[in-house]
Homo-oligomer: A and B are copies of this chain.
Amino acid sequence: MFALKFKRNVRKTAGYFFHLIFVLQHLLMFEILFQKLDEKIQLTEEEKELCKSFFTPKKLRKRQYILQEGDVCKNVTFVEKGMLRLYTVDDKGSEHIMQFAFEGWWIADQFSFLTGEPAIYNIDALEDSELLLLSKSAEEQLMQRIPKFERYFRILLQNSLIATQRRLIGSLSQTAEERYNQLINGCPTIPQRVPQHMMASFLGITPETLSRIRKQMTTKS
Partner-B contacts on A (CB < 8 A): 88, 90, 94, 96, 98, 110-111, 114, 143, 147, 150-151, 153-154, 157-158, 160-162, 164-169, 171-173, 204
Contact = CB atoms under 8 A, between A and B. Distances in A.
Contacts of A172: 96, 171, 204
A204 B111 contact: no
Nearest to A201: B172
Given A96-B169, A164-B165, A171-B204, 16 more contacts: A90-B173, A98-B168, A110-B161, A111-B166, A114-B162, A143-B151, A147-B147, A147-B150, A150-B151, A150-B154, A154-B157, A157-B158, A160-B161, A164-B164, A167-B168, A168-B168
Nearest to A205: B172
A153 B164 CA distance: 18
B162 A111 contact: yes
27 contacts: A88-B169, A90-B173, A96-B172, A96-B173, A110-B158, A110-B161, A110-B165, A111-B162, A114-B158, A114-B162, A147-B147, A147-B150, A150-B150, A150-B151, A150-B154, A154-B157, A157-B157, A157-B158, A157-B161, A164-B164, A164-B165, A164-B168, A168-B168, A171-B171, A171-B172, A171-B204, A172-B204
A170 to B, nearest CB: 9
A94 B164 contact: no
Number of copies: 2
Contact of A169 (B98, B114, B169): B98
A171 B168 contact: yes
Contacts of A151: 143, 150
Nearest to A154: B154
A164 B159 CA distance: 13
Contacts of A164: 161, 164-165, 168
A88 B168 CA distance: 12
